[in-house]
Structure 1
Amino acid sequence: MFRSVSDDVICLEELSRGDKIETVVNVYESADLVRGQDPNTGTEDANTRGISQTQQTESHTKGSRFYRLTAVCLGLLCVLLLTAIALLWIKTYQLQTNYTSLTMERDKLQTIYITLTTERDKLQSSYTILTTERDQLQTNYINLTTERDLLLTSYTNLTIERDLLLTSYTNLTIERDQLYTSHTNLTLEKDRLPTERNKLQGKLSEIEKANQKGWLYFNSSIYYISTEKKNWRESREDCRRRGANLVIINSRKEQDFIEVLRRGQWAWIGLTDSASEGVWKWVDGSALTIGFWKADEPNSRTGDEDCVITGYVSDPVKNWADYSCKDDFVWICEKRIFS
């Protein structure tokens, strides 16, 4: 299109140049006519007119050619202008179509933008509401946590108080039970007192009678030392007939009392290893826990020394010795009065 327009401009320039040439030719011809107005030169004028007519004929021929060329150029120019107008209309239509499409797309985008803006506002509003609810929930959570801690503290304090009360209750229950037990025991003791008093009176009477028969009272028991001598088994049988048994010595005080009671005599006591050699037991079956043996006793010097006498040496404490149960010595009986 731009190339056609350029061709049209060149054609117009050529037409203008032709007009200028024709104008110059006419001017020169007019000047010659003015200079040639002399009466003596008529023939020259006729010749000149002939030449002028010839030149005018040529000029008219050139003018006709020029006009035809001008008409052709104008036609081409019109065709080019129509073509340019058609192209411009097509281009304008395309641009209008594109403009319409873009406008529709713009409107769609505007609608989408408005929709998205509305949704964004809704989301913003929802976010604000959710944020407010979250803050409220956070506040409620903090309040509930505080209340829970207070409740836990109260629960702990109540638990401690409950435990203290339970402990107090348990202690009071124990004390009550102890008081009941004490009351029961006191009641039983009160009920037993007459019986115990009667028993005690009976035992006192027994002690008095025993004293009259040669028995001596010491540390809840009465003791009797014989006036005759017998072997260990016969001595034990005599004690049993008297409701007693051979003496059992379980303390230093009792040993000292027996030392006074025997009055320097060798006397049988209720200790033997006849059941098992070397295993000394009292006549009630209890094991020997404290002994007052002479330094080298027991020794089974004669080979059959399964019974024990006290007072074997002058030492008032360590004076026990093992002897044959067949030997005859005085004996000491013991009868438990008070348990």
Structure 2
Amino acid sequence: MHRKDGQTTDDVYENYDVIKVNIEKKITDSTQGRSSEFTESDCVMIRSSRAAAVCLVLLCVLLLTAVIVLCVMFTQERLQLISKNKNLTSERDQLIFKNENLTNRRDQLKNELLILDGWTYYKSRFYYMPNEMKNWTESRRYCTEREADLIIINNREEQDFVNKMFGGTTAYIGLTDSDVENTWKWVDDTNMTSGFWGSGEPNGGRAENCAVIVDQDQRWPTLFGWHDVLCNRDFKWICEKNISQLILP
């Protein structure tokens, strides 16, 4: 068959086949190009996703580490607070116990002070001179039965106090050299370091082993200070009780 433009039908089909092949080739090339571009994009996305996943894991690890550290710190502080609270509780109980003991001691002291009617208080000590006469041994027994002892004179101030409160008489004090001659000791077994002996005293030798304090005694108006005497002679005496003896059990 012939067309007006001079082309035959066979020529038309042949041209159509060529055009079809060219079109299919272009489509294939285009598709392959897009596939290559798509593949590279996917790789970039995969790498980005992996990096994000790694960052997320690291972040989780850091957060977990921080949580663990905070938990440990909190636990330690809690244990310290518990320990401090126990210590405070123990100290509180001790203070309560001490307060109860002090209250009991105070009540005991009040009772003791009521019993000590007639005793004279001076600088944490109580003094008493009964209005009777005994030898040195019996005088001391009288004092110890009342949780006291014969007086120990430690200094000039106490000596003046005794003269003022119990002057005008002669009274036994807690001083003797019965164990070793001329080694005068107090009843608490301490050595006498300084004394207030009268003129020429002590002068009794082996016989006079006990001491008395003399002050304005009408029987011996010229005698003052300490004198050694026979321990079996009867004199008044002075008892002394330290205030700690009233408080301590």
TM-score (norm 2): 0.54
Superposition map of 1:17-28 within 5 A: none
Q: With CA pairs under 8 Å and 6+ residues apart, which has the higher RCO, 1 or 2?
A: 2
Identical amino acids, percent of aligned pairs:
40
Q: What SS does structure 1 have at the residue aligned with 2:116?
A: helix
Select which of 214, 227, 230 maps to 1:321. 227
- Post-superposition Cα deviations, 1:197-223, rounded to whole Å, max 9, x if no partner, equal 320232133113212xx2112222211
How many residues are treated as equivalent by the alignment?
152
Q: In the alignment, is the contact (CA less than 8 A) between 1:207 and 1:222 conserved in 2?
A: no
Matches within 5 A, 1:213-292: 214-292=118-196
Q: Is the 8 A contact 1:207 1:217 kept in 2?
A: no
**Between structures 1 and 2, the one with greater strand share:** 2
CA distance in 2, matches of 1:187, 1:299: 60
Q: Offset at 1:334? A: 1.0
- Partner residue, 2:99: 193
Deviation at residue 338 of structure 1 after TM alignment: 2.0
Change beyond 3 A, Cα 1:204–1:257: farther
Query: Structure 2 residue aligned with 1:207, among 113, 121, 124?
Result: 113
Q: 2:179 corresponds to which letter in structure 1?
A: A
The match for 1:305 is 208
Higher helix share goes to which structure?
Answer: 1
Q: State the Cα RMSD in Å.
A: 2.7
Distance 1:185 1:319 in 2: 53
Q: Structure 1 regions of 5+ residues with no counterpart? A: 1-183
Q: Distance in 2 between the 1:185 and 1:288 partners?
A: 44
Distance in 2 between residues matched to 1:337 and 1:189, nearest whole Å: 23
Structure 2 counterpart of 1:333: 239
- Residue pair 2:168, 2:215 contacting (<8 A) in 1 also: no
Q: What's the offset of the Cα at 1:322?
A: 0.8
Following superposition of structure 1 onto structure 2, how do residues 71-220 of structure 1 map, counting pairs within 5 Å?
Answer: 188=94, 191-211=97-117, 214-220=118-124
Moved over 2 A (4+): 184-191, 312-315
Q: Counterparts of 1:185 and 1:307 in 2: how far apart (Å)?
A: 51
* Partner SS for 1:204: helix
Equivalent-residue separation in structure 2 for 1:261 and 1:290 (angstroms) = 21
Residue 294 (structure 1) aligned with residue 198 (structure 2)? yes
Work out the CA distance in 2 between the residues paired with 1:333 and 1:220.
14
- Flag the structure with larger Rg: 1
Which structure 2 residue ranges, 5 or more long, are not aligned? 1-89
1:307 maps to a residue whose letter is C
What is the DSSP-based 3-state SS (H/G/I as helix, E as strand, rest coil) of the residue aligned with 2:163?
A: helix
Q: Decide whether aligned partners of structure 1 residues 253 and 328 sit closer, same or farther in structure 2, where only a CA change above 3 A counts.
A: same
Q: Aligned to 2:238, what secondary structure does the other structure show?
A: strand
For 2:155, the aligned partner's letter is: S
In 2, distance between residues paired with 1:256 and 1:186? 46
The residue type equivalent to 1:292 in the other structure is F
Cα distance in 2 for residues equivalent to 1:278 and 1:190: 52
Deviation at 1:263, TM superposition (A): 3.1
1: CA distance, partners of 2:229 / 2:92: 51
Contact map agreement 2:140 2:149 (CA 8 A) in 1? yes
Q: Deviations over 1:122-155 (max 9, x none)?
A: xxxxxxxxxxxxxxxxxxxxxxxxxxxxxxxxxx
- Aligned residue identity for 1:194: E
